[in-house]
Amino acid sequence: MGFDDRRAEVIQAAWRVIAREGLDRTSMRAIAQELGSSTGVVTHYFRNKEELTLFALEQVFEFVVVEMRASAEKWQGMERLEQMLFLALPLAVSDRDDWKVWVAFLGYSIGRDRLIQEHCKRYGILRDLIVETLAELQAEGLIRAGLDLAFEANALIALVDGISMSVVINPEQFSASQQQALVVRAVDPLRVG
């Protein structure tokens, strides 16, 4: 097993522990136990919990952004925007663990400037991707002219965050179809006519 494969196993173990226990109760020791190895194995790949958490979040974030870009190329019209936003929602039970870790990371970031900067950087990338898509839809005459695209992107991100955090806390609050309906409801006022 190569370095990258073993490192991926460490990240997956960390992800499971964080989703189950929360970030504040996650330790390098708990991750090692989840992995079935010694703490030394974990620290061989990551110096500390913060480094490991940031790397794990980066992997998931990169995956979502790649999927959103692929979706933007695959879909046409307003469905392009809707499908991109659907990808960020916890529509499946398996997506909830990703959101549990993200929410844990947000709470853990309070008072930690480096983590807050990382959080802002990721949201900036996401906002830019949505603004780019909105601009393309506007150029195609599908959404209204004169919109503040950065504001609209932020509003859509806030909606996805709110839905997702609600589902993490209370999985019964919104079914997958209700989550999608809320996104469609938010996108509809942007349409021309």
CATH number at residue 118: 1.10.357.10
- Cα 186 to Cα 87, 160, 179, 180, distances in angstroms: 16, 10, 11, 10
Per-residue pLDDT, 3: 67
Distance CA 10, CA 92 (A): 24
What pLDDT tens digit does each residue of the chain (193 aa) get? Answer: 676 788 888 888 888 888 888 888 888 999 999 999 999 988 988 888 888 878 877 877 788 888 888 888 899 999 999 999 999 999 998 888 888 888 888 887 888 888 889 888 989 999 999 999 999 999 999 999 999 999 999 999 999 999 999 999 999 999 999 999 999 999 999 999 7
* Same domain as 151, residue 84: yes
Q: Is the CB of residue 107 less than 8 Å from the CB of residue 141?
A: no
> What is the span of the domain harbouring residue 12?
1-47
Burial of 90 from C-beta contacts in 10 A (0-12 / 13-18 / 19+)? buried
Distance CA 156, CA 83 (A): 13
Per-residue pLDDT, 1: 66
CATH code (residue 19):
1.10.10.60
Distance CA 79, CA 101 (A): 28
Nearest one of 95, 100, 86 to 26, comparing CA atoms: 100
* Same domain as 107, residue 21: no
Domains held by the chain: number:
2
* Same domain as 61, residue 14: no
* Same domain as 142, residue 65: yes
* Same domain as 64, residue 19: no
| Total-model pTM | 0.84
Q: Is the CB of residue 185 less than 8 Å from the CB of residue 174?
A: no
Nearest one of 6, 10, 14 to 100, comparing CA atoms: 14
